[in-house]
Amino acid sequence: EERKKRYIRRVFGHSWLDLALYDLTLNTAKLTSQGAIATALLALAKFSEGIPKQPDPVTMHYKQQSLQDIGFMHESEAEFAQVLDFYNIPWQYEPRTFPLQWDTEGHVIEAFTPDFFLPEQNIYLELTTQRQQLVWKKNKKMRRLKDLYPEINAKIIYGKDYRNLLKKFGIDEK
């Protein structure tokens, strides 16, 4: 149980006890298991009524995050988000975590959460401003991601490319 708590906090940045993370919670102290299943299925049916059967990726709308709402892990991520905002490029910060490795019991022991997702371009981006010789870990995770999820479009933006991008947009490196 403690391993699960630590893992969820590390990967998602929240305690699994935070009820805001869940779309539906049921108090099973007053429900039978069949009652809980029936309630969940009813909630799913109500929720599904508003979801198109085959969403059109071109017209899908994504909730745009704002710089004020996010606690970026690194200053470079906030700068990159500013560039995206300036050019009206929709983005999401760390919207999905991809499990990469599991133990023998099926617990996730390694995962990868790319920094950004650009929905209109359908690409995940990982920024790394570390020196080139220190990025081998991210490169390894990216290779594993592409092996396990070949349908996912993901790229790493390396430190040199990132600094050139900042220069191009007139942002001083701090």
- Output DSSP code: residue 133: G
Q: What is the pLDDT of residue 14?
A: 66
Share of the chain above pLDDT 70, in %: 73
Residue pLDDT, tens place only, 46-74: 766 665 444 344 333 344 566 666 778 87
The amino acid that residue 46 corresponds to is K
Sketch the domain layout of the chain as residue ranges. 2-49, 67-168
CATH topology of domain 67-168: Endonuclease; Chain A (3.40.960)
Contacts of 36 (CB under 8 A, 6+ apart): 26, 28
Q: Per the structure block, which two tokens stand in for 49? A: 């009524």
Beta-bridge partners for 155: 125
Q: Are 19 and 26 in contact (CB under 8 A)?
A: no
Q: What is the pLDDT of residue 80?
A: 87
The answer to pTM > 0.75 is: no
Q: What is the pLDDT of residue 152?
A: 93
> 38-70 in b/e burial notation, b at 16+ Cβ within 10 A?
eeeeeeeeeeeeeeeeeeeeeeeeeeebeeeee
Residue pLDDT, tens place only, 94-128: 989 999 998 888 888 999 999 999 999 999 999 98
